[in-house]
Structure 1
Amino acid sequence: MDLVFHAARAVTPDGERSCSVGVSEGRITAVEDYGALSGDRVIELREDEVLLPGLVDTHVHVNDPGRSDWEGFDTATRAAAAGGVTTLVDMPLNCLPPTVDVASLDVKRRAAEGRIAIDVGFWGGAVPGNRGELRPLHDAGVYGFKCFLLHSGVDEFAPLDEAGLEAAMRELAEFDGLLIVHAEDADTIDGAPAAHGRAYTDFLGSRPSSAENTAIARVLDLARRTGTRVHILHLATGDAVPLLAQARADGVRVTAETCPHYLSFVAEEIRDGATEFKCCPPIREAGNREELWRALGDGVIDCVVTDHSPCTPDLKRFDTGDFGDAWGGIAGLQVGLAAVWTGARSRGFTLDDVVRWMAQGPAEQVGLPRKGRIAVGCDADFAVFAPDDAFVVDRTRLQHRNPVSAYHDRALAGVVRASWLRGREIDLDPAAEPFGEFLTREDAAAPVRSGQR
């Protein structure tokens, strides 16, 4: 074998165990008892380290091309690798042009070529007027289609109205495409007080949980009628959990995600003017946070992904602290694993649970059978994780392009000491040559080489 890991602790689909993992030509070829394998190169994990499968983050805004000063493929993928993420799927908006047709997908791939430190796939967008582009994008390899039910924050990615949502879902049902939905109801938010000023409570009141509930109920009703596969993005309210549980019991093909910031922060602790915490849907109260943790434990929420949505510092309006004017989005790609592990272990969850939520679950949700598991036949993607080590987040030391982080000064448990992609350790030096590959839906078992179409 090319490479063997000896790990006293490793998280596999059968649970945590002591084992040796063999790698040949970038694939896992054996998982045996500890010490049973030998190879050309042997990595002996330290006593305090656990071998995890590389995480899969299916909700990342790279913002490249067009807004690469907000992030970019080089910095985003290095930040991901620093946080144990070895596969990401990039969102179709905040880049210019948005990924709403095959031509714009080609533009994005050209922008990413030779600049990705990890494996990268792409979402397409469902917007007014592009129904005819959905099947060609699907055939070009996107993993599904994102839509908004209210203003997205950028004018070039318009929301779907009721008729447009149903039309898109019926089109996707024709080829079993996946619709992923930013589920907040525009009318509900239009009827709420406008976001303004420095008080976080006022911002929270401008995005009530009823907006999520109404939108999710609408999506689930249409999914029942059309048979379309749907996925609820960044669930922030525990109130919607019974809706999701009932829909799934009724046979609706629905999955849902939440994010580390909804599991970490609470509205009661966000100080006035702290616009680094602004995101949409918003971070809600402490009781709501615990409902999300319970839904994860019960399996109603399928996965945890970051919704990494960075921007330049000026867009956060730190000069005024006005939540109405500030950009809504939290940059958490590098610290997501530590944030979730910190909260999980304090509630009695294990690393098995975290791997299910952040590696295996997201991989299964988008259809990446070779990702997110330490199992024979899977890509040799790993995170070497020290769960009992700790650190305090310093925004200036993160790999993200801009030093803006809601996690700044927060003490977190768990340190990623190395990440491996297809049997090669990822070098985080900006001067190092990246070797990530493009992934496409139709050949999830055989990733596209960076630069190929």
Structure 2
Amino acid sequence: MPPADDGSAASGALDLVMRGERVLVDGAFAAAEVGVRGGVIARVVPLGTGLVGARTVDLADDEVLIPGLVDTHVHVNEPGRTEWEGFASATRAAAAGGVTTIIDMPLNSIPPTTSVAALELKRAAAEGEVFVDVGFWGGVVPGNGSDLGPLVTEGVFGFKCFLVASGVDEFPPVTADEMEAAMAVLAASDSLLIVHAEDAALIESAPHRHGPAYADFLASRPREAEGAAVAAVIDRAARTGVRAHILHLSDADCLDRIATAKRHGVRLSVETCPHYLVLADEDVPAGATEFKCCPPIRDAGNRDALWSGLEQGVIDLVVSDHSPAPAELKRVGDGDFDAAWGGIASLQLGLPLVWTEARRRGIPLARVVEWMSTAPARRVGLTGKGRIAEGAAADFAVLAPDAGFTVDAEALEHRHPMTPYDGRELSGIVRTTFLAGAPIDRSAPRGRLLRRPTSEGGVRDAA
């Protein structure tokens, strides 16, 4: 830590001082005081220095201070499908779970974010409705190559494409050749392409049996489809030099191929999600379509291998892929997995889900925060987020890591009370979430809309 001062006089008055025995600084917990001025961390000094602020918060003995989480994979669905979620409900849920920044996916909103005009509509829908900071992904679909450059200029954080049907008609998939063409355009601006990697032909040729048996659904999304698509992304990224990112990796058989690509200099990163790290196919009851997601939850051995991939650095980060839908879509067909909407609601629960399982495996909390805050922020260029350090955003979560609770779907801030974790016992209660140095009041939205700049200088407001 830097030399101490009291945060007064020449250094200017502090707005807030956070003090505690366990503050996550430089990847380790230490006894520290954190001084905030103007929404930015101004001082990080040893506990006992005596920083003075307009407000002082002393952590309880069972609490730790961590940077606010950064969730770069959230489907807000507004405008057009606000009845599925919406900016107000999604960002309240984020705040309740210690998430202070989200990046919104370009679907399932109507219109999807595949042009500047659509981005403007989305920003208008979000303005004044967000309780945490929000950025936006653009989308790559057939025929919108001329829209990519203007979207980069307008500050999207990168672009998403599907190599298989997305589930909504207005966001069609691209072929591998179309993906490569987009990669070439995006490489020139050093933008990021994020890919839903499942092979369309292999999915189409797989059996698609209707009914409540999870094994039948699992057979319809075979490992081979994920592996083939991941290989295609690696091959095309190597040819174009683009920064590429594999979304929601579920198949651990891909890990060796990914590790090899990284060693050979492919500019590749990979995420996985809480449901792949916590659940296994044997956990899924017949007809329990709240567990349906694509790619699917696989077996316990696969889950263990994903954890190994995280610990070894092959997988870079953990994000929610929060993708809710109304009950009439999620439970359509009376438990028919083939017919039901695929997506898991977990935005509010990500931290306790991953922490509970990580602790069981002997993995420290600091690594969980790296995967869920520091690494996502770094990957999308949010250099001022995801860390407690001087000059960084004063976005914090006050967490009681040993406190337990039972998930009650009806009590979650998500718009629809459906989650596969209902009734699950978890550890880790987020007591308070701070955005820009002030506790989030979930009745008063004050989050910012963010742009990724096209040059050096850090993130900026959308306004």
- On whether the aligned pair clears a TM of 0.5, the verdict is yes
Find the partner of 2:395 among 381, 394, 405.
381
- d(CA) in 1 for partners of 2:70 and 2:27? 19
Whether contact under 8 Å (1:198, 1:322) holds in the other structure is yes
Residue number in structure 1 paired with 2:22: 9
- 3-state DSSP of counterpart to 1:64: coil
Residue number in structure 2 paired with 1:276: 290
Following TM superposition, by how much is the alpha carbon of 1:375 offset from its aligned partner in structure 2, in angstroms? 0.4
Following TM superposition, by how much is the alpha carbon of 1:353 offset from its aligned partner in structure 2, in angstroms? 0.3
Q: CA RMSD in A?
A: 1.0
Residue number in structure 2 paired with 1:32: 45
- d(CA) in 2 for partners of 1:406 and 1:269? 10
Whether contact under 8 Å (1:52, 1:385) holds in the other structure is yes
Following TM superposition, by how much is the alpha carbon of 1:96 offset from its aligned partner in structure 2, in angstroms? 0.5
Report percent identity of matched pairs. 56
Deviations 1:125-169 (A, max 9, x none): 000000010010001000000000010000000100122111111
Residue number in structure 1 paired with 2:4: none
Whether contact under 8 Å (2:135, 2:450) holds in the other structure is yes
- d(CA) in 1 for partners of 2:204 and 2:459? 46
Whether contact under 8 Å (2:316, 2:375) holds in the other structure is yes
Find the partner of 1:20 among 3, 24, 33.
33
Following TM superposition, by how much is the alpha carbon of 1:299 offset from its aligned partner in structure 2, in angstroms? 0.6
Residue number in structure 1 paired with 2:55: 41
Following TM superposition, by how much is the alpha carbon of 1:224 offset from its aligned partner in structure 2, in angstroms? 0.9
The 5 Å alignment of 1:41-440 reads 41-317=55-331, 320-428=334-442, 432-440=443-451
Following TM superposition, by how much is the alpha carbon of 1:287 offset from its aligned partner in structure 2, in angstroms? 0.2
Deviations 1:16-43 (A, max 9, x none): 1110000001000111001212211110
Q: TM-score, normalised by structure 1?
A: 0.97
Following TM superposition, by how much is the alpha carbon of 1:196 offset from its aligned partner in structure 2, in angstroms? 1.7
Whether contact under 8 Å (1:11, 1:351) holds in the other structure is no
- d(CA) in 2 for partners of 1:360 and 1:53? 8
- 3-state DSSP of counterpart to 1:30: strand
Whether contact under 8 Å (1:150, 1:159) holds in the other structure is yes
- AA aligned to 1:22 is G
- d(CA) in 2 for partners of 1:65 and 1:373? 32
- AA aligned to 1:434 is P
Following TM superposition, by how much is the alpha carbon of 1:445 offset from its aligned partner in structure 2, in angstroms? 2.6
Deviations 1:211-238 (A, max 9, x none): 1100000110011111111000000010
- AA aligned to 1:65 is P
- AA aligned to 1:25 is G
Deviations 1:27-64 (A, max 9, x none): 00111001212211110000000001000000000000
Following TM superposition, by how much is the alpha carbon of 1:252 offset from its aligned partner in structure 2, in angstroms? 0.2
- d(CA) in 2 for partners of 1:120 and 1:288? 33
Following TM superposition, by how much is the alpha carbon of 1:446 offset from its aligned partner in structure 2, in angstroms? 4.6
- d(CA) in 1 for partners of 2:281 and 2:25? 36
Residue number in structure 1 paired with 2:5: none
- d(CA) in 1 for partners of 2:144 and 2:292? 30
Q: TM-score, normalised by structure 2?
A: 0.95
- 3-state DSSP of counterpart to 1:129: coil
- AA aligned to 1:17 is A
- d(CA) in 2 for partners of 1:224 and 1:116? 38
- AA aligned to 1:447 is R
- d(CA) in 1 for partners of 2:378 and 2:155? 16
In the alignment of these two chains, the number of paired residues is: 447
- d(CA) in 1 for partners of 2:32 and 2:441? 25
- 3-state DSSP of counterpart to 1:133: helix
- d(CA) in 1 for partners of 2:453 and 2:273? 27
Following TM superposition, by how much is the alpha carbon of 1:319 offset from its aligned partner in structure 2, in angstroms? 5.9
Whether contact under 8 Å (2:332, 2:339) holds in the other structure is no
- 3-state DSSP of counterpart to 2:419: coil
Deviations 1:277-312 (A, max 9, x none): 000000000000000000000011000000000000
- 3-state DSSP of counterpart to 1:442: coil
- AA aligned to 1:179 is L
- AA aligned to 1:150 is V
- d(CA) in 2 for partners of 1:18 and 1:244? 38
- d(CA) in 2 for partners of 1:226 and 1:319? 44
Structure 1 window deviating more from structure 2 (29-38 vs 126-135): it is 29-38
Structure 1 window deviating more from structure 2 (435-444 vs 82-91): it is 435-444
Whether contact under 8 Å (2:91, 2:130) holds in the other structure is yes
- d(CA) in 2 for partners of 1:256 and 1:196? 32
- d(CA) in 2 for partners of 1:14 and 1:78? 28
- d(CA) in 2 for partners of 1:284 and 1:446? 37
